[in-house]
Amino acid sequence: MASPADTATVQAETQAFLAGLTRTLDTWFQQQSAGAADISEAAVPLVESISALSTGGKRLRAQLLYWGWRAAGKAADSTVPLEAAAALELFQTAALIHDDVIDRSATRRGMPSTHERFSSLHTERRWEQDPAHFGSSAAILTGDLALTWSEQLFNLAVEHAGHPSGAAEDFATMRTEVMIGQYLDIHAEVAGPDVPRDQAVQRALDVLRYKSAKYSAEHPVALGMLLAGGDPDLVRAGRAFALPLGEAFQVRDDVLGVFGDPATTGKPAGDDLREGKRTVVTGLHFERADRADAEVVANSLGQQDLSEVQVRAAQEALRRSGALTATEDLVERLTADTFEALDQLPVGPVVRTAFRTIAQAAVRRDR
C-alpha cells in the first residue's frame, strides 16, 4: 500500500512532467509551423493535423518513460525525458495516422481521422480530382513527417543524455517491431481464414505484442532507464514488468474494439469487426464456437457496412462461445504477471507507486 506522501509526490511529479511535455510539444509545433509557412502556407495544415492528434490522450508511454528515467536515479527536472517522451508521442501520432489510413477509419478520438480532415479540406475548397485520394495521400505524408520529427527529438534526447549505451538502438528496434507488427496485422486480415484454428490465438498475440504491446509499455520503460544510464539488471527487470502490462493493455483494447461504448471510446461500436481485425477475442472464439456462431463472427469480419444489429449478433456469439470471458481472464493473468514483476523491481517506493498507478489505470479502463 502506497503512503499518502508517496502518492502525493507521484501526482506532483507526474503533473509537472506532463505540463513540461505539453510545453515541449507546443514549442516544437510553433517552430515547425513557422518553418512550414516559410516554405508555403499550403503546408501549414500538415503541422496542424499532427498537433491536433498529439494533444491530450492518456500519455501512457510518456509517463512510463519518465518513471523509467526516475527509476535509474536521474533528476526530475531534466529536459532529456521531455524530449524523449515528445519523440514517443510523435511516433504514436504517426502510427495512428497511418493506422487510420490502413483501416479506413473515419474517426479518431471522436474527431475526423487525418485522411478525412484532408479529404474534407479538398471538398470545402472545391479543389480538382478525387478528395478521398488526396486525403489518403496527404495523411501518409503527414504521418511520415511525424516520424521524421520523432527521430529528431529522440536524437536530441540522446545527445543531451550524453549518448548512453543502448538507447538509440532500442528506439530503432521499437520502430522496426511496430512496422513489422503492423504488416502482420494487415496480413492476418487477408490470410486469417487460412490460419488453423489452433494457431489463431498465437498469431493474434504475435501481432498484439509487436504492433502495440512492446512499444506501448516495454520500450518506454526501457528507454527511460537506458537514457538514464541504468544498469542492465534494472533494465531487464523493467522490461519484465512492462511487457505483460503492454499486453494486458492491448488485449483490453481489443475487447473495447468490439464491445466498447462509442461515447467513451470515440469509435463506432464493433469497429474492429468492420476492419476485419483478427484479435485474441476472435481467435478464442474460432477455437471454441460451434459452427453457427463461428459463421456469425466470420461473416462480420471486414464488412464495412455492418449494421448495429449485426454488431450485436456478433457480440452475442462471442459471449456464447466463452471467448469474451476467456479474453477477460487473459487480461487478469497478464495483470497479475505485471504486478508480480513490479514487486520484484529494484526501485524505491515513489517510483513503485508511480508504476503501480499507471498500471492500474492502463488495465482497468473503458476506452
Nearest in space to 138 (alpha carbons), one of 27, 48, 56: 48
Query: C-alpha grid cell for residue 149?
Result: 520529427
Measured distance CA(52)–CA(328) in Å, rounded: 33
Looking at residue 295, its pLDDT comes to: 94
> Average pLDDT in the 181-192 region?
86
Range of the domain at 158: 4-363
Determine the pLDDT at residue 44: 94
Mean pLDDT along residues 274-281? 90
pLDDT of residue 199: 81
Which pLDDT score, from 0 to 100, does residue 234 have?
98
- pLDDT tens-place string over residues 314-353: 999 999 999 999 999 999 999 999 999 999 999 999 999 9
pLDDT, residue 226, reads 98
Average pLDDT score over the chain: 93
Residue 156: closest CA among 16, 38, 10, 27 = 27
> Which residue shows C-alpha cell 476472435?
282
Q: Which of 108-122, 184-198, 219-233 bottoms out in mean pLDDT, i.e. has the lowest? A: 184-198
The SS3 assignment for 33 reads helix
Helix (H, G, I), strand (E, B) or coil at 178: helix
The fraction of the chain above a pLDDT of 70, given in percent, is 98
pLDDT of 367 > 60? The answer is no
Question: DSSP characters for 269-333?
Answer: TTHHHHTT---HHHHHHHHH--HHHHHHHHHHTT-TT--HHHHHHHHHHHHHTTHHHHHHHHHHH
At residue 39, does pLDDT exceed 70?
yes
Place of cell 516544437: 28
What is the average per-residue pLDDT within 151-172?
97
CA 275 to chain centre: 17
User: Which pLDDT belongs to residue 366?
Assistant: 58
Q: Is the pLDDT of residue 26 over 70?
A: yes
Mean pLDDT for 172-185 is: 95
Please state, in angstroms and as integers, the Cα–Cα distance from residue 348 to each residue in 2, 63, 68, following that order.
11, 17, 12
- In the chain, the number of structural domains is 1
pLDDT at position 268 is 73
- Work out the average pLDDT over 170-192: 91
For the segment 27-50, the average pLDDT, to the nearest whole number, is 96
> What is the distance between the terminal CA atoms of the chain, rounded to a whole angstrom?
26
Length, in residues, of the chain: 367
For residue 179, give Cα distances in angstroms to 97, 184, 199.
Answer: 13, 9, 22
CATH number of the domain encompassing residue 279? 1.10.600.10
In this prediction, residues 239-252 reach a mean pLDDT of 96
Question: Contact 131/119 with Cβ under 8 angstroms?
Answer: yes
